[in-house]
Structure 1
């Protein structure tokens, strides 16, 4: 098999809008990550940025199963001794409603320079409105 090398000019990059209302967090994030990587395209190559742009709306209405609203924890550290802070999913959805979706998507992308570059192609909004109407994004049902 030969590796396909396409120039970035040859990529046709589309915009998609995904409504997260009532969707499971992990399933939504995995589908968005696949679209961002470009795995749905026939000329996908793992070392190039060939994916599309994704706009996620209604991120504050994402669904989780079981007791994850109370038991799923998000951790951060201040850098000082004993500076570990923890927040559960329900508090995170109240304070920063887009963060759980962003963290789930970012965790499913490569953890390198390419992943950081690809993550800039996703825009997450808490409400139903977004400022990307000029790109004429297509609605994508998951």
Structure 2
């Protein structure tokens, strides 16, 4: 397995305070999924593994990456991600509503829309990381899930 991977993800408790118990659970699951399998290569780093700390400073998501002989922080404006995150949260809420009683066809349609928005958000995040951190599609999806969970309170 490549050394270009994350082995820990921490949330800065000062700038990303705890949310409701349900959202905290979503955050922990998103971190677990991200750590299970990922491809994460900061530009300019020769080899990992890496540790990632996320914080929110002046409306920017800060990704503080450290590894052997490597340390760099990248700030990403959240503005370009807001619509993707909001749309994804809205369709996830709809999906959970539909699960409570709709027919299989409607569930499948909403799920396809949810997956499509998830992919779109992941690709947007991946493009925002361009020139900073190289991630594969699945890692971008998992990271987008975590960013979405950070938006929720």
- Comparing both chains, which one has the higher relative contact order based on Cα–Cα distances under 8 Å and sequence gaps of 6 or more? 1
Q: TM-score of the superposition, structure 1-length normalised?
A: 0.27
Report which of the two structures shows the higher radius of gyration computed on alpha carbons. 1
- Higher helix fraction: Structure 1 or Structure 2? 2
Structure 2 length-normalised TM: 0.26
